[in-house]
Structure 1
């Protein structure tokens, strides 16, 4: 079974493509994470967890869910991580997680996809995004073939910087940067409530028709990138920048 979490669609696309190749069930974890639902899921086939990379590791909200979810059946597990650059030393932490849950860890595949982290980086135009995704498809298919054959993913050599990024920098990054303080809505907000619906942590509410953010943010960028009016900004950094939603899942990506 393929389990995925996705803020703007990159991991969703990779998960569904892998599911199609394996002819296996694909399950979106959004509602389970949002509702703290750890109820049993059973799979006779190996587990495949497809997630974005947050500061060179899996998202902490996915980590917390995996630590508590009742996953029964097959004990083999693969991870596929989409990223704009690198997954660093994420595998080390996944191995620890799997050992604690008594899973047989079969590696982590890195899939480079279009950048969506509009809070800090530049997002691509539609044409740029489609080109990046096209180049990723062979890598996704190769990962699917390894899973189909029951082979562990080959693991690339790690650098000292990879270890620092996934370790010290990840530990610093979350408390220092992962918060909602800089999110705001302009007067162009149409009060549709889409931002409320796409937040995996129930961290957004509408007051007088405008979104208000709480303190429980994971920086998935779903609210700012999926706003149909492009009314949400992240400080001054996002102004004038393309909003990114995977164009292979949606036509919502605009220049």
Structure 2
């Protein structure tokens, strides 16, 4: 079973591609996250967890879902992590997570996808995004071949900088940068409520027709990139930057 979490569509795209290649089912964990229910899933085929990379690690909400869930049947677990550039030393943390969850770690594969963390970076234009997606597809086909053959994903090389990024920098990122205060909404808001529906942690409520953020956020950027009116910004850094949503 392919289990995925997505904020702006990159990981959904990869999960669907792998599902087609492997003839396997895909499960979006958004309803589980929004309900707060523990995962209780069974699959006789390998578990393939497809997620974005947040500060060179799995998103913490995905880590907690795996750690606190029940995954019966197959014990094999593969990780496919979408990223704008690299995943640091995420593989070591995924291996440790599998030990905690009683799963057999089979490797972590980074897949470069169009950048969408517009709180810091600029999303690509349409043509550049198409080129990035074209380069990602052979990587995903190779991943499917390895899974189908029961082989481990090829291990990448990591160094001191990777360990630093996935260790102390990750902790500092969540402690000092993952905040909701900088989110603002302009008069372009059409009060559609899509941001509220997309928020994986139920952190957005609509008040007097406008979104209001609570104190829980994973910085998935779903609210910004999913806003049909382009009304949501994150501080001054993202102002005027193009949004990106991966095609279905």
- 2:229 maps to 1:229: yes
Higher mean C-alpha deviation, range 160-169 or range 235-244 = 235-244
Q: Which residue of 1 aligns with 2:19?
A: 19
Mapped partners of 1:196, 1:16: distance in 2:
24
Query: Residue 39 of structure 1: CA displacement?
Result: 4.2
- How much has 1:240 moved relative to structure 2? 1.6
- Over residues 112-168 of structure 1, what are the superposed CA-to-partner deviations in whole Å (9 max), with x where a residue is unaligned? 000000000111111111111111110011111100100000111112100100001
Unmatched 5+ residue regions in structure 1? 250-255
Q: What is the TM-score of this pair, normalised by structure 1? A: 0.96
Query: Is the 8 Å Cα contact of residues 114 and 124 (structure 1) preserved in structure 2?
Result: yes
1:39–1:92 distance in 2 versus 1, CA, 3 Å: closer
Structure 1 segment 239-254 matched on structure 2, within 5 A: 239-246=239-246, 248-249=247-248
How many Å separate the matches in 2 of 1:162 and 1:28? 29
Q: Indicate the residue corresponding to 1:187 in structure 2.
A: 187
Report deviation, 1:32: 0.6
**Matched residue count:** 248
CA contact (8 A) 1:49 1:78 kept: yes
In the TM superposition, 1:33-72 aligns within 5 A as 33-72=33-72
Q: 1:147 matched to which residue of 2? A: 147
- Per the TM alignment, residue 6 of structure 1 is displaced from its structure 2 partner at its CA by 0.3
Give how far 1:77 is off.
Answer: 0.6
Q: Secondary structure at the match of 2:205?
A: strand
Residue-by-residue CA offset, 1:28-77 (whole Å, 9 max, x unaligned):
01111111121421100010000000000000000011011111100011
Is the Cα–Cα contact under 8 Å of residues 2 and 26 in structure 1 kept in the other structure?
Answer: yes
**Distance in 1 between residues matched to 2:89 and 2:228, nearest whole Å:** 36
TM-aligned CA deviation for residue 235 of structure 1: 0.9
Displacement of 1:241: 1.1
- Return 102-111 or 235-244, whichever deviates more: 235-244
Superposed CA RMSD? 0.7
- Structure 2 CA distance, aligned partners of 1:207 and 1:235? 20
Alignment of 1:206-221 (within 5 A): 206-221=206-221
Asked if the contact 1:36–1:65 (Cα under 8 Å) also holds between the matched residues in 2, the reply is no
| CA–CA distance in structure 2, aligned partners of residues 32 and 198 of structure 1 | 13
Cα distance in structure 2, aligned partners of 1:78 and 1:112? 17
Q: What does residue range 75-114 of structure 1 map to in structure 2 within 5 Å?
A: 75-114=75-114
CA distance in 1, matches of 2:231, 2:40: 39
Q: Are the counterparts in 2 of residues 48 and 77 from structure 1 also a CA contact under 8 Å?
A: yes
Query: SS in structure 1 opposite 2:141?
Result: helix
2: CA distance between counterparts of 1:39 and 1:19? Answer: 20
